[in-house]
Amino acid sequence: MTAPLPLEPAPPPKTGIKWRLFFFLFLLVLLAPASWLARRGASKMEFFHLRNVAVEGTRYLSPDTVVARLQLDTMRSVWDDTGPLVAKLRLMSQVSDVHISRKLPGTLLVSIRENVPVALAPSPRGLEAVDSTGVVLPIDPSREDLDLPVASQRDKAILTLLGAARAGNPVLYQRISEISRDGKDALVLQLSVPRGSLAAFPEATADDSLAALPSFHSPTLRVRAMVGVSVSRLADIFPVESDLMRRRANVAELDLRYRDQVIARLQ
């Protein structure tokens, strides 16, 4: 006797699913303009008129300059579109990025990320502050305390390296006093020789005393490297420098142009 095959359950009716999908789409269409209408209505209320602009994130750029650039007035609502304001600020050479938010009822918060200077480079007007792309920034070196390396020219390879050093190894960056091209494929850096601080010697131990860390004869150390050298490769000089200082060696320069080696030339 053959057993009857089990019956497959009937598929659920699709009518309910279609109605739920229709209702969801209808609700979405109905509510989508609600936030826009609410903001538009609020923008007409005097309670939300602009009373204050707060600027944060600036270092060399004056907050007053930012506010003046926006050209705002108290008849503006904080709910007005901030897109045009952001576009205005991004046209400033000192501004890398900007974000504008609201603090109700009447304040706009302007968060600035500056293009920071990485070097002083020569120009027809003398030394000027430039960023890592070579853009001259409107910063007066005679009025600002700019402790920056001096670049021999507005050279892309030089400024890119300085920008990477500033971001990735501030200790190394602060020691670079000058940087220039040496022919087509090499760079020459002048580094200040650290004095009186264990923090300047990555290889120093906690038991070392300041007196046990002698200095080079010269106040600067010349370092030669290939164009395109990485910041991590430049940092290879630290243990070599520390060892040479302990031995009171009179060093003419350190050469990084040879793969995986640091060549010390003594005077």
* Per-residue pLDDT tens over the stretch 121-132: 998 888 999 999
Cα–Cα distance, 229 to 232 (Å, whole number)? 8
* Per-residue pLDDT tens over the stretch 223-250: 999 999 999 999 999 999 989 888 888 8
Cα–Cα distance, 108 to 216 (Å, whole number)? 54
Cα–Cα distance, 246 to 215 (Å, whole number)? 8
pLDDT average, residue stretch 79-100:
94
The yes-or-no verdict on residue 169 having pLDDT over 90 is: yes
Model's pTM, two decimal places?
Answer: 0.71
At residue 73, the pLDDT reads 86
Confidence band, pLDDT 50/70/90 cuts, at residue 207: very low
* Per-residue pLDDT tens over the stretch 19-34: 666 555 555 454 455 4
Confidence band, pLDDT 50/70/90 cuts, at residue 87: very high
